[in-house]
Amino acid sequence: MATPIILDCDPGHDDAVALLLALASPELELLGVTTTYGNQTLEKTTANAIRVLELAGRPDVPVAAGADRPLERELVVAAHVHGESGLDGPTLPPPSAEPISRDAVEWMAGAIADAAGTVTLVPTGPLTNVARYLDEHGTTGIERIVLMGGAIAEGNMTPAAEFNVWADPEAAQAVLHAEVDVTMIGLDVTHRAVTGADVQRRLRGAGSIGVFVAELVDFFAVYHRETYGWDGAPIHDAVAVAHLLRPGLVGTKPRNVEVELESELCRGRTVVDLWLRTGRPANAHVGVDLDTDAFFDLLVERLARLPAR
């Protein structure tokens, strides 16, 4: 039986790849997509989710728009990374449909209540929607949460913090303390999922969706080349989906994770007790390594299965 999932995302180049990987994987049943501000405004991330679903020939997948700003913090979007549209680079038609009328949290509640089994949440943007859902509906019906966000070591939005957690640190702290099974796929793992010339070549040979993803990467790599000197881009969010497909790809350790809320300097830092210094109970399976080659083998193989656009 396929694992029912909800992808909560802010497309966003790597969110788009995560969505396509989920659609290409029969092990997963994508119940729907919920969207949040993050890489761009809510309006743009929602339109981008619909655009990618239509590209993949899946306009049947419901898209429910959620939070247009963090719980408490100011709205900051990552246009410097993902461009004005949030999905700059490839030519992609505008969406031909609107999101459903219900908001993300309301739709999540219905989808989880109606699901045959427990549902896995896969957040790949700021955690505002998920925190709101948990606050209003609790953890009943949720199998686990496998999120892309945080970091053991360095951040990317600031030296201290990763963007998804930095954007809404209160939401991240709430999710980590909701007493639900959480896996944190952070930058320590996703910075090992950086494309290169060989991956780009293989993507361009993986059908028209593979070409589309290679074009996404071409744009996404500009920021990362300028910032890190890399010859490619980290496909952060697709690693969270890949973890559901191949649990062995990402090594994890049960550890305590707390989020810095008070400091401005370290706002949104995920403080991971990797070496068990604090005695605080583990509240997440924290990603510590990645089999990079196996990840890209899986990604290319699955994208090639999607129908030509």
Q: Which 111-150 positions form the footprint of ligand RIB (CB under 6 A)?
A: 124-125, 148
Q: Which of 36, 39, 45, 195 binds ligand RIB (CB under 6 A)?
A: 39
**Sheet of 3-9, strands arranged across:** 63-65, 28-35, 3-9, 119-123, 142-148, 182-185, 284-290, 250-255
The answer to whether residue 12 forms part of the interface with Ca ion (CB under 5 A) is yes
Smallest gap, in angstroms, from Cβ of residue 124 to ligand RIB? 5
Q: Give residue number: closest CB to ligand RIB.
A: 163
Nearer to ligand RIB, 86 or 99 (CB): 86
Cβ-Cβ contacts under 8 Å for 152 (sequence gap 6 or more): 186, 188, 270, 272, 274, 286, 288
By CB under 6 A, residue 156 contacts ligand RIB: yes
- By CB atoms closer than 10 A (0-12, 13-18, 19+), residue 113 is exposed
Beta-bridge mates of residue 259: 270
SS3 content of the chain, % helix, strand, coil (to 5): 40, 20, 45
Residues 237-256 touching ligand RIB, rule: CB under 6 A, are 237
Q: How far is the CB of 278 from ligand RIB (least distance, A)?
A: 25
273 binds, among ligand RIB, Ca ion, none (CB under 5 to 8 A by kind): none
Position 168 contacts ligand RIB (CB under 6 A)? no
- Please, are residues 261 and 71 in contact by the beta-carbon 8 Å criterion? no
**Chain positions contacting Ca ion, by CB under 5 A:** 10, 12, 15, 124-125, 237
**Chain positions contacting ligand RIB, by CB under 6 A:** 10, 12, 14-15, 38-39, 124-125, 148, 156, 162-164, 236-237
